[in-house]
Structure 1
């Protein structure tokens, strides 16, 4: 299953991507049973199993073109990242001369994450 978080008509939700449509999580559960976040859902295997069984029968999905994609999961804290962590990746980036001698670790604030098709803004130095 491909998961996404999205905003539509001012409401944030998450769901399963099926081709060019999204099945909103709310289609699978009564309001009182519906997980509030993708992280909450992932931590409940019985709810994931329920979705797995029901997803093929679902109708009324939202067209992807109608939503603003959000980061799939927004972590509560900074994201720890490792840069240029393997030789092939460094070569793909075209920076063979910059292969680090030591591991490069950096953090990324959770408010810097963007969703699919999102605009990434950066400052010129």
Structure 2
């Protein structure tokens, strides 16, 4: 199933992407009340937290909707105001230097253990939202990344069972202010400016994605492909990441793990070729099966 968040006057409501368009679940529940039980979720976090029961109720409700008359609660993706596909994660955990070729391009040693850092909810934004380039950086970089979305309470999970604890996957642009990131040994400052984690456009359930470590991943800047790789180049694959993190902290439904970026970022270029993001640029992150996440960058007028 392919889920989205639809932003409505400051609220994020659940949308389900179908071949015929996007079903606004909240509106459909109102108009087709007789077809739904009280367990049908109308917000993406409720689906994630409700697990298989919530997904089953949602599947059943979507399947019960009539073939005719759906125009009342069906809309085109072109008419949506998008919200982050995961709206309220308890934790935003990131893995640094997790692609071999990216480590090589930045002259960094291959890590022996996953390098973990965190972001905060202020970094969340959505597909097609403008992102202001912070006044405090001159080196804003893009990073195409696969995101793991946790679906079950997870502690001390074995690698062999780890992916059974995953609800689904989405794309993110893990934006990085390199001058701030490298100012100290701690990366947090350069990773946590406002809107530095656009998520989306879709949250795709794990059953539709299959093997997360065999997906093409790209970033496209102003129409030019900059990153073009496959998640198979990860140093620590998705199952190992989930297992490793769970040994140290309890993961809960809705937690997101950003799994690192492949080669092709600005930082990896020779210094005389480095051209960082500026107002007017547009970046698209494209991951196989997960869609295209696009944002335009604007001047910070605050």
**TM-score greater than 0.5 by the shorter chain:** yes
Contact 2:41 2:58 in 1 (8 A): no
The 5 Å alignment of 1:92-107 reads 96-102=105-111, 103-107=114-118
Q: Which residue of 2 aligns with 1:119?
A: 130
Aligned residues: 121
SS at 2:132 equivalent: coil
Q: 1:54 deviation in Å?
A: 4.0
Instruction: Verify: 1:24 aligned to 2:31, yes or no.
Output: no
Matched, 1:63 2:76: yes
Pairwise CA RMSD of aligned residues?
3.0
Give, in angstroms, the shift of residue 36 of structure 1.
5.0
**How far apart are residue 23 of structure 1 and its match?**
0.6
CA separation in 1, counterparts of 2:109 and 2:83? 33
Q: Distance in 2 between matches of 1:9 and 1:21?
A: 21
Structure 2 matches for 1:64-103, cutoff 5 A?
A: 64-88=77-101, 90=102, 96-102=105-111, 103=114
Instruction: Report the counterpart of residue 49 of structure 1 in structure 2.
Output: 56
Comparing 75-84 with 51-60, greater Cα deviation is found at: 51-60
Please list every run of 5 or more consecutive structure 1 residues that lacks an aligned counterpart in the other structure. none
Task: Answer whether contact 2:15 2:23 (CA < 8 A) is retained.
Answer: yes
CA distance in 1, matches of 2:19, 2:97: 33
Which of residues 121, 136, 141 is equivalent to 1:110? Answer: 121
